[in-house]
Chains A and B, each alone.
Chain A
Amino acid sequence: MMKALHIAIKDLRIRIRDRNTLVLMLLLPIGLTAIIGFAFGGDSGISSIGVALVGPEDGDLLTNAAAGLLSQVELFDAEVTTEDEAREAVASGRKSAAIVLPEGLIDAVLEGAPAEIAVLQDPASGIKARIVETMVERFATSASAGGIVGRAIFDAVEAERPITEAERWQLTGWMFQWMYETWSEPAIAIEEAEAETRDVDVHSYFAPSFAVLFLLFTMLASAKTIHEERESGTYGRLMASPVGRSTFIAGKLMGSYALAAVQVLLLIVLGSLLFGIDWGSHPVAVIVMALVTAAGAASLAIVIASVARTARQTDNVGTAFILMMSLLGGSMWPIEQAPASFQNVARFTFNYWAHSGFKKLVFYDAGLAGISQEILIILAMSIVFFGASVLLLSRRQVLT
């Protein structure tokens, strides 16, 4: 036992002294989290969308009003132009979208005649152009609704008694005023309540994700030393001393595990210090989750190393496997957005459960009980992985 401990301590010292390990362990996950925060966090994101606005040359009252209304949308950086120019600007990506208003907007509203607002979209813009489309759709819905309400009122009043031309004008004028007042204060309002009260930003989502991803990489580098020691002959030297093979494996696993625990805990601390991530009000749950995740990653990496035959193979097979699992399990992008079938596949990965646990801590302030499912599943995975690696290492005589 003491010998295994010494092997573990030796491994830990070698790793921590290596600057490249530190890059992989800490710098990359923190750097990537920072970049993502830079891309999506804070007041950034979509603050201004370039929009070209095209109205007919002699637009009616309502068309002009619509143009004025749309040009004042806060998100839009609108510029009034001709359709040809607008097309050119959008096709080349200088504007995300163009709104082309039709001539007979007032007829559409008053008479119910069909009118079409065209939204031209930048082919390379997946999101901004889509936002413009949604905003214009909202406007069109309001215009249609306003029109139909007006026509319904005329219809009902006229059904009781015919209306003279003078009355029609009087009523139209009144109605615009009345509708304007009424429509702005809906009878049924929706109050949005985000289901959490915690201040969560994009860092909080990605910091644990990248932590898990790079934890696996560190563990792989650590598990690889099983082969490296064999290839460099230090393993043979160890076996010539009174150290058993099981002691060696135990030492390796302990070293890996200690390194993993150090990495996860450091990343958690650095996450709070650098990005202000709030890991919740249950420190014990956070520490347990960190330690369990470390165990899962360490044993997963050992299993990969025991399947491989050489250090190089461990590197190749392992990196591929980790990347694939991270992609499936959501270490590289929010899989909550993926279809349900995709998420069902994700449940078979270690990454999925590790994220799930950290997400519950960060997003929902879960306690130990809240993450018990994740902890049990990862522990079960660790035991299976560990058993499999011991079996593989002895059966396949990777270590001889």
Chain B
Amino acid sequence: MKKILVIIAHNLRLIAADRSTLFWLLAMPIAFTFVLGLAFSGGGGGGGSTDPVRYGLTVANLDRGPQGEALLAAIEAAGKIDLLPIDGADAGDTALELVQKGDRSAALVIPPDYSERLARRERVTLTFHRNPERMNPYVTRQAIDEVLTRLRAEGTAGIGARTAYAELRGEPPPELAERLSSRASAYVAENWDPPSVTVAAERLGRTAGSDVPSMGFNHSSPAMALMYVLLNGLMMSIALVDERRERTLARLFTTPVARSSIIVANLGWRFVIGMLQMWILIAFGGLALGVDWGDSPVGLVLVTVTYVAAVAGLSVLLGSISRSSRQAQSAALVLSLTMCALGGLWWPLEITPKLYQAAGHAVPTGWAMDAMHNLVSRGYSLAGVAPQALVLALFAIGFTVAATLTFRHE
């Protein structure tokens, strides 16, 4: 037992002596968490600007009458988007071209006969050009739809009042029809806000009140911690290959230290480094980024212990079966990046197909991310993450058994 501790301390010292290690263990993941969190923030645990973002919408109003202008005024008045008008006879083509070249995200084209067709109560079609790679058009389109819904309600009420009158008492004379229409339209405009049927979204769990948990630091902080512990953990498989090549491992086998002790020590120092890294990143997320890690510290410990144990086991396994340090390095990169992508560390698994989600749960990362969501978002207690921890423990045992079977000194 004492010898195991000596080997663990010895390896920690070797790692600590390397200045680049600190950088890799801590500086990089912290920088990544920070940048990704900033990029996706706008809710979900501290950081990010709270100002409403206004999106630009390119508009080409070809309407010969006054209604087009009125529509644009209504859109602008809603206060969500800035209009970027284009003038000229070929404004429609210009708008299309701007979107096509990627200079603008979206454009709305109002046809020349917009007012005329509305006056004739004919169906009229606006064109919305959307740049498929941008998110902005989703927002601008929704803002336009809101305005159109109100205009449509006003129009419908106007027609409806006239038709209803006719239904009860026969066709009204033109003057009365006009009065009915404008009264009904005005009623809609006046009483539009507030709407009678509203939606109250309630986010359950402990993050109640915060907006979108899959974005922002609440997602990026646990995901990046899991990712970097995995990446660095698997990279540490190289140390085992090096020890074999330099024959220090063989020499260790000639000393009175049991094989099992040597394996335990190899798992042990990787585990210690993984845990150190994990908890420094957790502390950083909590203190600097305002991530709330849930109500169950014990649950968090259990999840991190089993996850890091699985990573340590896989690292020793990889080091045992790799023939060269370059091979171990390539394998570590391929394995860790693949597992990050599959396990939902880069994007939430909920938006992927069922088969993909199943693949994500064939690797430890998927279970670890589930457990993190249970703790951070759902506020589960220890029992709530026990199933995930159990699966992670099984991964750890499986990897460790495989590592023990393949462990060799030459």
Q: Using CB atoms and an 8 Å cutoff, list the residues of chain A in contact with chain B.
A: 18, 20, 23-24, 27-28, 31-32, 35-36, 38-40, 44-47, 87, 90-93, 96, 105, 108-109, 112-130, 133, 136-137, 140-145, 147-157, 159-161, 163, 167, 170-171, 174-175, 178-179, 182-183, 185-196, 200, 205, 312-313, 316, 320, 323-324, 327-328, 332-339, 342, 359-360, 363-364, 366, 370
Contact = CB atoms under 8 A, between A and B. Distances in A.
Interface in B156-215: 156-157, 159-161, 163-165, 167-169, 176, 179-181, 183-185, 187-188, 191-192, 194-208, 212-215
Interface string B308-345: 00000000000000000011011001100110011000
B327 A191 contact: no
B290 interface: no
A366 B97 CA distance: 12
A190 B157 contact: no
A266 to B, nearest CB: 18
Given A118-B200, A137-B199, A192-B130, A23 B330 contact: yes
A87 B208 CA distance: 13
A272 B146 CA distance: 41
A211 to B, nearest CB: 15
Contacts of B258: none
Interface residues of B, number: 114
B198 A126 contact: no
B127 A191 contact: yes
A189 B133 CA distance: 24
10 contacts: A39-B353, A115-B196, A117-B198, A118-B199, A124-B377, A126-B215, A127-B348, A195-B100, A363-B102, A363-B132
B378 A91 contact: yes
Nearest to A338: B39
- By secondary structure, the A interface counts as helix
A187 B158 CA distance: 13
Contacts of B151: 188
Interface-central residue, B20, B27, B121, B359, by most chain A CB under 10 Å = B20
B161 A157 contact: yes
A40 B23 contact: no
A37 B356 CA distance: 11
B346 A123 contact: no
Interface stretch (B28-36, B80-88, B241-249, B280-288): B28-36
B128 interface: yes
A18 B205 CA distance: 51
Given A27-B334, A112-B191, A316-B20, 9 more contacts: A38-B356, A39-B341, A47-B353, A128-B351, A152-B187, A188-B124, A190-B126, A192-B141, A320-B23
- By secondary structure, the B interface counts as helix
B206 A123 contact: yes
A148 B192 contact: yes
Contact of B164 (A40, A143, A171): A171
B346 A333 contact: yes
A79 to B, nearest CB: 17
B155 interface: yes
Nearest to B122: A187
B373 interface: yes
B123 A185 contact: yes
A81 B14 CA distance: 59
Contacts of A160: 165, 176, 179-180
Contact of B350 (A125, A161, A342): A125
B131 interface: yes
B9 interface: no
A3 B184 CA distance: 88
B101 A370 contact: yes
B49 interface: yes
B152 interface: yes
B341 A36 contact: yes
Nearest to B379: A123
Contact of B134 (A23, A148, A336): A336
